[in-house]
Structure 1
Amino acid sequence: MDEATGLIVDLGVLLLCAAFVTLIFRRLRLPVFLGYVLAGFLIGPNLLSHSPIHDIHAVHSLSELGVVFLMFYIGMEFDISRLRKVLMPAVLAVILQTVVMILIGTQMAPLFGWGGVKGIFLGALLAISSSMITISVLQSLGRINRSHAHLAIGILILEDILAVTLLVLLSGVAVSGHVDWLDLWKVTFVIAVFTVAVYCLGRLFAPRILKLLESFNDPELTTICAVALMLGLGTLAVYLHLSVALGAFLAGSILSQSSLAHRIEHLTAPLRNVFCAVFFVAAGMLIEPTEIIGYWWQIILMSALVVIAKVGTVWLGLFLSGQDADTSFRASVVKAQIGEFSFIIATLAQTLGVANSELMAIAVGVSVLTTIAGITLSIRVNTIYEAIASRVPPPIRTLGEFYRNLVGEVRVGVGRIFLWRLLKRPITQIIITFFLLNAIILSVYVFNGYIKGNNGLAEYRNWIGPATWTLAAVLCLPFFSSILRNLNAIVLIVTDSVFSGTSAKQYLHGRMQNIFTTVSVAGLAVLVGGIYLSAAAEYLPSGVALAAFVILVGGASFFFWKRIIHVNSRLEYLFMDSFNQRSREEEEAREASALEEISAKYPWPVNVKEVVLPALSKACGKRISELLLREETGATLIALSRNGQVLYGPEASARLFPFDRLYLFGEERQNEAAKRFLEEKRAEGRHDTSTPTLKVEKLFLPKDSIFVDETLASANLRKTYGISVLGIQRGQHRMTSPRPDEVMMAGDMLYVIGNPDTIRDLQKNHPRQERSEPVMDDLLSAEE
């Protein structure tokens, strides 16, 4: 049997076993991926003397596509606005988890008779949770769109980036015996440059390519292009010594939220399912019973420590960042296991001679036990959390609630700081532009490295180097000017703020701006010039790089500065035109589905009921405060209509008269109870049909609404539009009778009462903020 035929046979046997266990585990309502692991163990070489799988190495290589397709799927579900919301909690959780896991590994190593380097490898393989398992559990339990799932996925994305960094760091540790912080800084910087450049350029060109694919309407072409992008970016990441999973994730994130996203996800789902099955079966083949039995007590001990430490550290990180205890606990439980990257780290330890097979045995054993424990905890998370919460002393619970509220107030307060709101955009713009500038330098560096290593191109090296580095300098100039412009904007904002209202303003204002501008220009030139020269010097004659850079920058600054600024503005416009095109396509669909989505996820069965007060009602002649309507029935009197006039939020001292139209707000049972209370001893009477009808509707606030960041009082909805806000729903959080100083935010759902025609017109023609000419500082806001 030749190699190709053998791989086909191996794949056939593997998928037959996977299909068989899928049927059994579906019937038993158990997670299917556990069945895949079991199938791999049963047909693997460690259980059978003659395994039906002939080429184990080829199967394991093929199984890596499972990780690639999974990361592509996660990228397809990626929304940068959601990631920004969970970024800080995720960062804090990952830092705490990683530090504690590596500490556990280094402290447990002497107990196992191992050295310090092996302990670092042990802690590293314990620190990374399994994206495959976590996503599969969330999907199986129908929780993939819950808030705790978004937190967990945000942590997983950061862990994948951490895993790439750890692989580089551990390689240096194995050779030198200590942590090489310089290598750690280099790989982190390269990851940041690669991520920003690929994401921004992908978002720039993706809409045009997707529009072309949409015009062909060919599923085969769409599938091939999507997989080509995924594997192409994965290959580029590998060429830069990064993770193929990172490239696949970026490919998915580029296509996410696009018009073809759902179609691409549907077309690639069968491939993802097949290769994910191959991955788990291949992982099961790694299980070696004899070694696992030999390390049984280490595996049990480490599994218990992993579950306890991961749940504890991730929960603590999320809670300290201001998340509620329930959501934090659910997000921490679902990822209390280790997985695919742990196997990669264990394999690296064997390759570098740090360990034999003991780390792999522990990795496999701990992965199986922690996966079972994590699934069990996830299924019973409600019961477990209630049991733990019921045993927390009331003072501790009160303190935790106070802390969470305090963090929320601080976050809102920082967001309202006027100076920070002015500085946030230019600072963000500088960071993005700086990474794009370095992406140009890095690309030319990699290209020249390829030319240098290719003997067939030796005769072209003398002129390719100077030509490409001169081109790089020219391409960097627009980005250089963008950073300078934003630095000047920051200086202007800060000096205006510092010297505003002082007697020395006229004297110091211009002088300080000139000083800061000169310092910023000099500092930026040194920084960018240093990066450029350090990369170019290897491929240019001595002194040529410095002279070329100085002459080019100086000459361009003197003769072509206005033209460079114009080119930079055009680049900014191209970026924003691409982002805004996608944003416009999505906004209408988001607004249309927001009501349905929020109502389905967080149902709030409240409505308004209209009651005409009978002439002989006991309520006639009484003040509203005397009725105790809310205390007796739970419903709230929100409006009073009399003689064609509508009074919103009537005073408690107002009296009620026969034939008043009362508008009650509450749940159905509350409104019915209030109606019976008010209509007691009702007599027939003539109703005033001239009184306008009121209705409660839901009003969704898009990101560019003029009401966003306004308080209810400053928006003046009652006077301008004749409506009153009864409640606000913000995710899971609901506010009835919000205070006038409550700030409205993008994505809020407002429960408003007023004339139905007015509300419908407001929903259809929602007032939006006017946009100025697109600039690069809108790059981030286009994703919100």
Structure 2
Amino acid sequence: MTHLPHLVTDLGLILGAAGLMTLIFKKLKQPLVLGYIIAGLLVGPHFSLFPTIIEIENINIWAEIGVIFLLFSLGLEFSFKKLVKVGGASSVMALIEVVVMLLLGYLTGKILGWSTMDSIFLGGILSISSTTIIIRAFDELGVKTQRFAGLVFGVLIVEDLVAILLMVLLSTLAVSQQFAGSEMLEAVLKLAFFLLLWFLGGIFLIPTFLRKASKLMNDETLLIVSLALCLLMVILAAQAGFSPALGAFIMGSILAETTKAEKIEHLISSVKDLFGAIFFVSVGILINPAMIVTYAGPIALITVVTLLGKALSITGGGLISGQGLKTSIQSGMSVSQIGEFSFIIATLGLTLKVTSDFLYPVAVAVSAITTFTTPYMIKLAEPLYRSVERVLPEKWQKSLNEYSSGTQTIGTTSDWKLVLKSYVINLVVYSVVIIGIVLLAARYLNPFITENVVNGNLGDIATTAVTLIFMAPFLWALAVHHPQKEAQGRIWANRNYRSLIIVLGFVRIAVAILFIGFLLNQFFSAQLAFLVGLVIMALMIVFSKRIQRFYIRIENRFVRNLNARELNEAAKMHHTLTPWDAHLSSFDILPDSVIVGKSLFDLQIREKYGINVAVIERGDRTIMAPTRNELVFPNDKLYVFGSDEQMEGFRQFIQTTIPAAANGEGEKEEVRLQKLQIKSTSALLHKSIRQSGVREKTKGLIVGVEKNGNRILNPDSELVFEEGDIVWIVGVPRRIKQLEGNTVEEVLQS
């Protein structure tokens, strides 16, 4: 009889149990993650009713591969550009929640009498919510289009990055076994350095490679190349001293910026599902049911801490960031669970052998309970808000509404802020690139040249020359390039600030010289380095124009690669139909646009602007040829057909926003631009603006008057109204209608 390896037997058992549980949990409409965990529990060594796996060590290898592909997939959905676009409110809420839950987890562990390391890892486990569970719950409850859902998605994006940082910090802490501030700071700086270096290098090289090789790639080739890139970055991350999962996440986030992102995500989904299932089943295999019974009390306490701590911290963060009471409560009630990252952090503790055996099953049990409670927490959010609103003093509600409105102001950016921000970004980015080039040259290029090409001082000189060629464009950009020329020119026009601009210029040149010294110090003595440095600076001055042109080519390629996905999507929907000069284009609807909540019939888009709405994209749903009764929701994408002039008018219309009014939750009233025509029966006839009392009666402001075909913007208060005049008022529609009865016609225009 042919011998069948235990690995194959165990894998068949795992997938069989996972497949059966998938069907059962699909029928019960419960999260599949819980089904996988239960499947692992049934085939694990602690449950003898069913066949049991033979070699757990092999399954752990499969599970580690599962983590790699799981984080690779999360990276494809993450994208660093999404992180940049996440609003300040989501960032504040996420950071407050992480800090609060780290503290609560640590304190809870200490109250239970656990060790310091168990308590720290418990804080890390409780601090990250489950993206998978939340998205699935939002889909099932149909709340993805609501305002709080956008905030929650932003919170999850920030938490993903924080989870990566936590994994690095916890690994460092586990190895050192002490709270050394210098080591923790070094770990954070090292992570930031490599993240930036890999992202910059990846965006410059990988999209270009995929674009050049696109004609040679079918689905099979693209899948293999994507997995190869993922595993190469995993190896690179491990070589740099990070976890393999970090490398997978980084490569996913780089590929997320390419035009192949959606295709790769589609191709990788089956691989991710397969190994993800193995990972979650392995989570269940490691659970000891007897330990869960033993620690039932701590599990109940930690569950309560998770539900209340996350809800209160996110709600508090929402209020601090000015999101209004209702939105803050809805957001807080949505993220009260732990999931996949919590399992990974718990696994990390076991792998490093720094946590107790009971922490892992406790974390899984808390995750299972909070996963079941998630839909109910989301449903209870609105009733809870109403209850809080009833008991909250009116004075407090008014203060919250005023604070929320005050945070929605539009800030202005000074020239100094633009210039200093550009200088700081340039300094950080180019410093990382230059240091990365020097370190690569010292570690890999110099040994290769001295061993295989030429040895001794000649080898060092050759290494320096090659390295300098790669460094030169970035040294020039660091010392000379001005990304904000217009803003700097306006500052230079003020003689009082010229000395500061000159000082900043000298600082940049000095930093560039220091980097040249850093390079030379790797291979030469101090005296020789000084002489060679003078020669290098002279050569850079002589060849500055060529270096400048080379840098601009590098910068243009990087920017083109970074924005390739957006440009490609725009190109797909922008086809000119000659000879009509009409085309199909798309518009993203902001949550505060004036058209949100209105039907296509009410908006009269075709009648007013001459364009047709062909398609509405809403999340994962595409509405073809929408009917006149279709409503426009926040974050919809409208595909419309028309000419350039018609598109411009429509764009200005949809970009008109409704002034923020405490999220619509308080007593704030809607403000609109109104048109009022002066008739023979009007109470305003023959009165001046001052005498009319419009400001006092409507709490509005007259911003324009059309008189005899002439338009007067911001008219003088002594202007007298005559019959036929059209008055434009910014105010509350209800109040203006009370002033003139049915003579007011609401007009929506920017």
* TM norm structure 1: 0.68
Q: Match of 1:728?
A: 656
CA shift digits 1:744-772 (9 cap, x unpaired): xxxxxxxxxxxxxxxxxxxxxxxxxxxxx
* Offset at residue 5 of structure 1 (A): 2.5
AA aligned to 1:497 is: I
Distance 1:252 1:41 in 2: 31
* Offset at residue 517 of structure 1 (A): 2.2
Q: Secondary structure at the match of 1:54?
A: coil
Distance 1:228 1:555 in 2: 43
Q: Match of 1:684?
A: none
Q: Secondary structure at the match of 2:656?
A: strand
Q: Is the 8 A contact 1:165 1:187 kept in 2?
A: no
AA aligned to 1:522 is: A
Structure 1 residues 351 and 223 mapped into 2: Cα distance closer, same or farther (>3 Å)?
closer
Q: Match of 1:566?
A: 549
* Offset at residue 368 of structure 1 (A): 2.5
Structure 1 residues 225 and 34 mapped into 2: Cα distance closer, same or farther (>3 Å)?
same
Q: Secondary structure at the match of 1:47?
A: coil
The answer to whether 1:414 aligns with 2:397 is: no
AA aligned to 2:16 is: L
The answer to whether 1:518 aligns with 2:506 is: yes
AA aligned to 1:184 is: M
Structure 1 residues 559 and 57 mapped into 2: Cα distance closer, same or farther (>3 Å)?
same
Q: Match of 1:20?
A: 20
Distance 1:194 1:316 in 2: 33
Q: Secondary structure at the match of 1:576?
A: helix
For structure 1, which segment, 304-313 or 122-131, has the greater mean C-alpha deviation from structure 2 after superposition? 122-131
* Offset at residue 478 of structure 1 (A): 1.2
Q: Match of 1:714?
A: none
Distance 2:187 2:674 in 1: 49
Distance 2:190 2:415 in 1: 34
Distance 2:497 2:517 in 1: 31
Specify every segment of 5 or more residues in structure 1 that has no aligned partner in the other structure, as ranges: 611-637, 640-666, 670-697, 709-716, 741-784
The answer to whether 1:436 aligns with 2:433 is: yes
Q: Is the 8 A contact 2:18 2:35 kept in 1?
A: yes
Q: Match of 1:100?
A: 100
Distance 1:95 1:79 in 2: 19
Distance 1:175 1:86 in 2: 34
Structure 1 residues 171 and 32 mapped into 2: Cα distance closer, same or farther (>3 Å)?
closer
Sequence identity (%): 27
Structure 1 residues 259 and 569 mapped into 2: Cα distance closer, same or farther (>3 Å)?
closer
Structure 1 residues 388 and 461 mapped into 2: Cα distance closer, same or farther (>3 Å)?
farther
The answer to whether 1:481 aligns with 2:476 is: yes
Q: Match of 2:400?
A: 400
AA aligned to 2:656 is: I
Distance 1:530 1:314 in 2: 48
Q: Is the 8 A contact 1:143 1:149 kept in 2?
A: yes
AA aligned to 1:359 is: L
* Offset at residue 323 of structure 1 (A): 3.7
Structure 1 residues 339 and 464 mapped into 2: Cα distance closer, same or farther (>3 Å)?
farther
Distance 2:287 2:111 in 1: 24
Q: Is the 8 A contact 2:63 2:279 kept in 1?
A: yes
The answer to whether 1:586 aligns with 2:554 is: no
CA shift digits 1:69-118 (9 cap, x unpaired): 33333333345554323153343233322322232244334422234444
Structure 1 residues 335 and 593 mapped into 2: Cα distance closer, same or farther (>3 Å)?
farther
From 558, 582, 607, the equivalent of 1:575 is 558
* Offset at residue 278 of structure 1 (A): 1.6
Q: Is the 8 A contact 1:76 1:253 kept in 2?
A: yes
Distance 1:185 1:573 in 2: 34
Structure 1 residues 77 and 580 mapped into 2: Cα distance closer, same or farther (>3 Å)?
closer
CA shift digits 1:399-438 (9 cap, x unpaired): 22322221110xx1235x4554565555544443333333
AA aligned to 1:113 is: G
Distance 2:277 2:508 in 1: 54
For structure 1, which segment, 160-169 or 543-552, has the greater mean C-alpha deviation from structure 2 after superposition? 543-552
Q: Match of 1:364?
A: 364
Count residues with an aligned counterpart: 628
Distance 1:430 1:153 in 2: 31
Distance 1:579 1:160 in 2: 21
Q: Is the 8 A contact 1:126 1:342 kept in 2?
A: yes
CA shift digits 1:282-307 (9 cap, x unpaired): 11112212222222212211221122
CA shift digits 1:523-562 (9 cap, x unpaired): 4544x457657xx74xx46548955873564343343333
Q: Match of 1:497?
A: 491
Q: Is the 8 A contact 1:312 1:332 kept in 2?
A: yes
Distance 1:280 1:23 in 2: 16
From 517, 533, 536, the equivalent of 1:550 is 533
Q: Match of 2:66?
A: 66
Q: Secondary structure at the match of 1:604?
A: coil
Distance 2:645 2:506 in 1: 38
The answer to whether 1:238 aligns with 2:226 is: no
Distance 2:285 2:586 in 1: 46
* Offset at residue 25 of structure 1 (A): 1.4
Distance 1:723 1:367 in 2: 46
* Offset at residue 7 of structure 1 (A): 1.6
Aligned pairs for 1:87-486 (under 5 A) are 88-138=88-138, 148-174=148-174, 176-212=176-212, 214-216=214-216, 218-256=218-256, 258-350=258-350, 354-378=354-378, 381-389=381-389, 391-409=391-409, 412-415=410-413, 417=414, 419-421=416-418, 424-425=421-422, 427-444=424-441, 447=444, 467-468=462-463, 470-486=465-481
Q: Match of 1:53?
A: 53
Aligned pairs for 1:603-618 (under 5 A) are 603-605=597-599, 607=601
* Offset at residue 482 of structure 1 (A): 0.8
* Offset at residue 479 of structure 1 (A): 0.9
Specify every segment of 5 or more residues in structure 2 that has no aligned partner in the other structure, as ranges: 575-583, 609-627, 631-637, 665-669, 676-750
Q: Match of 1:36?
A: 36
Q: Is the 8 A contact 2:319 2:328 kept in 1?
A: yes
Q: Secondary structure at the match of 1:728?
A: coil
Structure 1 residues 495 and 571 mapped into 2: Cα distance closer, same or farther (>3 Å)?
closer
Structure 1 residues 446 and 366 mapped into 2: Cα distance closer, same or farther (>3 Å)?
farther
Distance 2:369 2:485 in 1: 56
Structure 1 residues 597 and 181 mapped into 2: Cα distance closer, same or farther (>3 Å)?
same
Structure 1 residues 248 and 422 mapped into 2: Cα distance closer, same or farther (>3 Å)?
same
* Offset at residue 731 of structure 1 (A): 13
